[in-house]
């Protein structure tokens, strides 16, 4: 199922068997990848239904009126928004718990996720803006990255401390894409001597089993990116007969 072609408008909703946990996803979505990482880390059985986000099935919009993936569905329960999905899974499936016990630490992790989201949003704005503004934008990005370096220096091998926690999985999908698609950004991380722990973290994360299981081949990412930029995203890259 993870490699099933995306369902589009006009399609029939695939039958959901009793008790089966389903994830509505898109094969290149970093938010959906968050959920898939948590599922893999916890070894939770699930099935995937991929959605064509340019031509969404009517039944998908009924399940999530916001219209975004990921969405979880099991029997009569529906959960959407990636952070909410991941928290939900961590509570319902307590094995390999990913959320720290300490409420203050939980709050700190959530704030760090917000900082990360803001940094990436700003970066994408710079990338789409006038080329002359790119150098200043990249310098700003480098300075913001130092926040993450300082944080991981305090915390340990992972943002979660001495083991992977939710915070690591929540920011990882973008790091994966930085190395694949954002040459300018990856150069900053690879060459900046003020980010040593962050670089070690990216290497450590690359070795994590869940990360390996949820990774897509670079060529597929590149092709998806290319077709998206042209305004005709090919959600089924690599699945063509
Ligand atoms: N805040 C949402 C963002 C999810 C999101 O933006 N997903 C994208 C795909 S990567 C999507 O479904 N886009 C469809 C749309 O915006 O119509 C989350 O955390 O789950």
* Ligand 1 residue neighbourhood (C-beta within 6 Å): 26, 29, 31, 53, 67-70, 81-83
Q: What is the pLDDT of residues 75-116, one digit of tens each?
A: 999 999 999 999 999 999 999 999 999 999 999 999 999 999
> In terms of pLDDT, which residue wins out, 140 or 127?
140
Q: Where in the chain is the domain with CATH 1.20.1050.10?
A: 103-207
Using CA positions, which residue lies closest to atom 5 of ligand 1? Answer: 68
Q: Which CATH number fits domain 1-98+217-241: 3.40.50.970, 2.60.120.380, 1.20.120.450, 3.40.30.10?
A: 3.40.30.10
Q: Which H or E run contains 66? A: none
26 token code pair: 């898109």
**What is the band of 1 on the pLDDT scale with cuts at 50, 70, 90?**
very low
Mean pLDDT across the stretch 208-234? 95
Q: How much is the pLDDT for 162? A: 95
Sheet harboring 77-80: ordered strands across? Answer: 47-50, 22-25, 71-74, 77-80
Q: Where in the chain is the domain with CATH 3.40.30.10?
A: 1-98+217-241
The chain-wide mean pLDDT, for the chain, equals 94
- C-alpha 193 – ligand 1 centre gap (Å): 34
> Does 29 qualify as catalytic in the annotation?
yes
The highest-level CATH class for domain 103-207 is mainly alpha
DSSP for 9-33 reads TTPPPPPPPTT--EEEE-TT-HHHH
1 token code pair: 């199922």
Q: Is the pLDDT of residue 3 over 80?
A: no
Q: How much is the pLDDT for 2? A: 58
Q: How much is the pLDDT for 194? A: 87
**What is the band of 130 on the pLDDT scale with cuts at 50, 70, 90?**
confident
% pLDDT > 90, the chain: 79
Mean pLDDT across the stretch 146-170? 97
The b/e string for 166-188 (b: 16+ C-beta within 10 A; e otherwise) is bbbbbbbbbbbbbebebeebbeb
Mean pLDDT across the stretch 33-51? 98
Q: Is the pLDDT of residue 209 over 80?
A: yes
- C-alpha 162 – ligand 1 centre gap (Å): 31
């Amino acid at each position: 199922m993870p490699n099933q072609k995306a369902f589009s408008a006009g399609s029939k909703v695939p039958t959901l068997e009793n008790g089966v946990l389903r994830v509505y996803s898109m094969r290149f979505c970093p938010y959906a990848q968050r959920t898939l990482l948590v599922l893999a880390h916890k070894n939770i059985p699930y099935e995937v239904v991929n959605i064509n986000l340019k031509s969404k099935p009517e039944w998908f919009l009924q399940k999530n009126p916001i219209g975004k993936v990921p969405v979880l569905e099991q029997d009569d329960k529906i959960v959407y928004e990636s952070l909410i999905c991941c928290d939900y899974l961590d509570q319902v499936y307590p094995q390999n718990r990913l959320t720290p016990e300490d409420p203050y630490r939980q709050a700190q992790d959530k704030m760090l996720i917000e900082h990360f989201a803001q940094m990436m949003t700003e970066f994408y704005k710079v990338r789409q803006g006038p080329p002359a503004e790119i150098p200043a934008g990249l310098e700003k990005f480098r300075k913001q990255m130092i926040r993450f370096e300082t944080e991981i220096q305090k915390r340990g091998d992972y943002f979660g401390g001495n083991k992977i926690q939710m915070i690591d999985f929540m920011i990882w999908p973008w790091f994966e894409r930085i190395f694949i698609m954002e040459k300018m950004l990856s150069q900053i991380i690879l060459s900046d001597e003020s980010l040593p722990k962050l670089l070690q973290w990216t290497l450590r994360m690359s070795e994590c089993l869940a990360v390996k299981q949820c990774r897509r081949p670079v060529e597929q990412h590149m092709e998806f990116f290319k077709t998206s930029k042209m305004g005709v995203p090919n959600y089924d890259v690599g699945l063509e007969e």
